[in-house]
């Protein structure tokens, strides 16, 4: 169960227990012998009835009036009812979610509902190393360059909230293990939470390398190929039944992207609609994620986020990392080929360790100049090259042959692809 749902369920259970306890206590007290003394006639009647065999009370009923607490004007007064006060305190309680990928700690401060506590001055203390502040007030404190080993993390007092009384123990890892990060959902933002115009700035150089032989129509499938499309929010609302009727055999759908300015992980706001629409239209899917990771740790974050996004869907095609430029000013635009290749490897290994197929998307120029492509051959290579016959000399399993395609059911133009069946 996701941690956010788990915490919500726990809180609901506590409130329910408090409510039932109060109902039992006050309902019983108003109906079970704490009123005026009975008259003699009633006392005699009680003695007669006591001689009768005891009747088994109805199952589950305690007292005569289970709504008696509503007649008590003090029931919802915290000073009079400490049970409700305790439940209220639980709602204001904070907790820490602490993870490590490689020689680092990510400390997430969450409320009782499982949400990050944002827009607050938050400080955590690392035993023996001092205090660290949540500088961007997003509820997350990142601490890097730590030696491997065990650490104890405490949350400093936060006005209006109850903080954990005991420190959280966490083990800092020496090396990346390429496994999904727990509670990554806390780091996934919606486009309403960020400046999407500034953050979503992927720019493919495949367009610059196109020539007049570019194939802009949907190709004909053969026994060894399948034909499809790739889409994102930029394609607008799609009529997937019409797309299927037009001959599209698969779709690679963008799950999201990392912001090219702040590095926020963002879900494409059309992702869920596209995944559900494609499934309803009978079109098999894969997904891709536009990376702006600057190291392996961030690549594992991105892979973990995608795995969280796709967990309710069935995929028949790979999960791709989309590595391309962000207009020249993106946070990852200046990476060297070694670092960029390590990022792709870390992403793909994390995806495969979770049981999915992994792949890498890039243009011919990007594979030749910005990656060590031969180290990625074990994954599904998706080539973007807009010519009738690609010039790329490396191995590839899928080919994006145009960004100018037209398909019934999709407004405007769309990317078109050919997948080579083994």
Q: Is the pLDDT at 305 greater than 90, yes or no?
A: yes
pLDDT at 33: 40
Each domain of the chain, given as residue ranges in start order, spans: 1-35+64-91, 95-172, 185-420
pLDDT (0 to 100) of residue 361: 98
For residues 400-411, average pLDDT? 97
With b for 16 or more beta-carbon neighbours within 10 A and e for fewer, the 43-67 pattern comes to eeeeeeeeeeeeeeeeeeeebeebe
Residue whose entry in the numeric block shows the structure tokens 């420190």:
167
Output phi, psi for 311, to 5 deg.
Answer: -65, -20
pTM of the model: 0.76
pLDDT, tens digit (0-9, with 9 covering 90-100), for 114-154: 889 999 999 999 999 999 999 989 999 999 899 999 999 99
pLDDT value at 238 more than 60? yes
Q: How confident is the model at residue 332 (pLDDT cuts 50, 70, 90)?
A: very high
| 167 pLDDT higher than 60 | yes
Extract the tokens encoding 330: 């993106």
- Residue 210: per-residue pLDDT: 92
Phi (first) and psi of residue 9, to 5 degrees: -65, -40
**What does 373-412 look like in DSSP terms, one character per residue?**
GGGGTTSEEEEE--SSS----S--SEEEEEEEE--TTSSS
More confident of the two residues 80 and 238? 238
Confidence of residue 90 (pLDDT cuts 50, 70, 90): low
Strand partners, 170: 151
What pLDDT score does 43 carry? 45
Q: Is the pLDDT of residue 45 over 60?
A: no
- pLDDT above 50 for 197: yes
Higher pLDDT, 400 or 62: 400
pLDDT band at 217 (very low <50, low <70, confident <90, very high): very high
Q: How confident is the model at residue 325 (pLDDT cuts 50, 70, 90)?
A: very high
Q: Which residues contact 248 (CB under 8 A, 6 or more apart)?
A: 218, 227, 228, 229, 283, 407
- Amino acid 112: pLDDT: 86
- Of the listed ranges 16-25, 168-177, 248-257, 408-417, the one predicted with least confidence: 16-25
> Which residues make beta-bridge pairs with 420?
225
Q: Which of 78-82, 293-297, 403-407 has the lowest mean pLDDT?
A: 78-82
Number of C-beta neighbours around residue 279 at 10 A: 14
Geometric angle at alpha carbon 113, from 107 and 114, rounded to 5°: 30
E-strand stretches of 31-136: 95-99, 105-110, 123-126, 130-133
Closest by Cα among 32, 18, 20, 22 to 65: 32
The CATH superfamily label for domain 185-420 reads Glycosidases (3.20.20.80)
Residue whose C-alpha is closest to residue 28's, from 48, 50, 51, 57: 57
DSSP state of 325: B
Question: Which pair of structure tokens corresponds to residue 297?
Answer: 């740790």
pLDDT over threshold 60, residue 235: yes
| pLDDT above 90 coverage of the chain, percent | 70
pLDDT, position 10: 47
> For position 233, what pLDDT does the model report?
98
- H/E stretch holding 26 reads helix 3-31
Q: How confident is the model at residue 73 (pLDDT cuts 50, 70, 90)?
A: low
Q: Which two tokens stand for residue 139?
A: 């509820």
Give the mean model confidence (pLDDT) for residues 250-266. Answer: 97
| pLDDT band of 55, cuts 50, 70, 90 | low
What's domain 95-172's architecture? Sandwich (2.60)
- As a whole number, mean pLDDT of residues 378-395 equals 97
- Model confidence at 322: pLDDT above 70: yes
Mean pLDDT of all residues in 189-209: 93
| Stretch among 46-60, 122-136, 195-209, 294-308 having the lowest mean pLDDT | 46-60
pLDDT of residue 38: 42
Classify 263 in phi/psi space as left (phi over 0), alpha (psi -120 to 50) or beta: left
End-to-end CA distance of the chain, in Å? 37
Residue from 113, 205, 85, 104 nearest 145 by CA: 104
Res 362 pLDDT > 90:
yes
Rounded-to-integer distance, Cα 49 and Cα 42, Å: 10
Which of the four pLDDT bands, split at 50, 70 and 90, describes residue 314?
A: very high
Whole-number average pLDDT of the chain: 86
Residues 6+ apart with CB under 8 A from 322: 202, 254, 288, 289, 290, 291, 361, 362
Comparing 7 with 387, which gets the higher pLDDT? 387
| Residue 87 pLDDT grade (very low, low, confident, very high; cuts 50, 70, 90) | low
pLDDT for the residue numbered 46? 47
């Amino acid at each position: 169960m996701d941690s956010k749902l788990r915490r919500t369920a726990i809180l609901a259970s506590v409130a329910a227990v408090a409510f039932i306890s109060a109902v039992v206590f006050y309902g019983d007290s108003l109906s079970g012998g704490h009123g005026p003394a009975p008259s003699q006639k009633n006392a005699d009647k009680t003695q007669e009835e006591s001689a009768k065999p005891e009747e088994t009370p109805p199952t589950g009923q305690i007292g005569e009036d289970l709504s008696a607490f509503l007649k008590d004007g003090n029931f919802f007064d915290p000073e009079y009812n400490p049970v409700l006060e305790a439940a209220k305190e639980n709602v204001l309680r904070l907790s820490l979610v602490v993870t490590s990928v490689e020689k680092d700690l990510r400390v997430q401060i969450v409320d009782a509902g499982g949400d990050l506590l944002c827009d607050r001055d938050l400080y955590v203390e690392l035993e023996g190393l001092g205090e660290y502040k949540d500088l961007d007030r997003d509820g997350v404190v990142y601490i890097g360059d730590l030696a491997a080993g065990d650490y104890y993390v405490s949350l400093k007092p936060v006005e209006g909230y109850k903080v954990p009384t005991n420190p959280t123990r966490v083990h800092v890892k020496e090396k990346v293990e390429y496994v999904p990060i727990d509670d990554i959902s806390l780091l996934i933002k919606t486009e309403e939470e960020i400046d999407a115009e500034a953050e979503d700035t992927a720019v493919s150089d495949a367009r610059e390398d196109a020539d007049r032989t570019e194939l802009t129509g949907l190709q004909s499938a053969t026994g060894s190929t399948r034909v499809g499309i790739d889409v994102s929010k930029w394609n607008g609302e799609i009529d997937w039944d019409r797309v299927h009727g037009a001959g599209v055999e698969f779709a690679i759908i963008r799950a999201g992207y990392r912001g090219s300015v702040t590095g926020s992980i963002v879900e494409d706001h059309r992702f869920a609609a596209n995944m559900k629409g494609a499934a309803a239209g009978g079109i098999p899917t894969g997904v891709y994620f536009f990376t702006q990771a600057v190291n392996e740790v961030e690549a594992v974050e991105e892979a973990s986020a995608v795995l969280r996004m796709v967990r309710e869907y069935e995929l028949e095609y790979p999960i791709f990392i989309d590595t391309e430029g962000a207009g020249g000013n993106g946070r990852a635009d200046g990476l060297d080929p070694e670092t960029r290749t390590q990022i792709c490897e870390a992403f793909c290994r994390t995806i495969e360790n979770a049981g999915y197929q992994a792949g890498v998307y890039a243009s011919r120029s990007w594979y030749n100049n910005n990656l060590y492509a031969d180290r990625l051959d074990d994954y599904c290579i998706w080539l973007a090259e807009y010519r009738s016959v690609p010039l790329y000399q490396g191995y590839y399993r899928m080919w994006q042959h145009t960004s100018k395609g037209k398909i019934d059911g999709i407004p405007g133009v769309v990317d078109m692809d050919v997948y080579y069946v083994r």
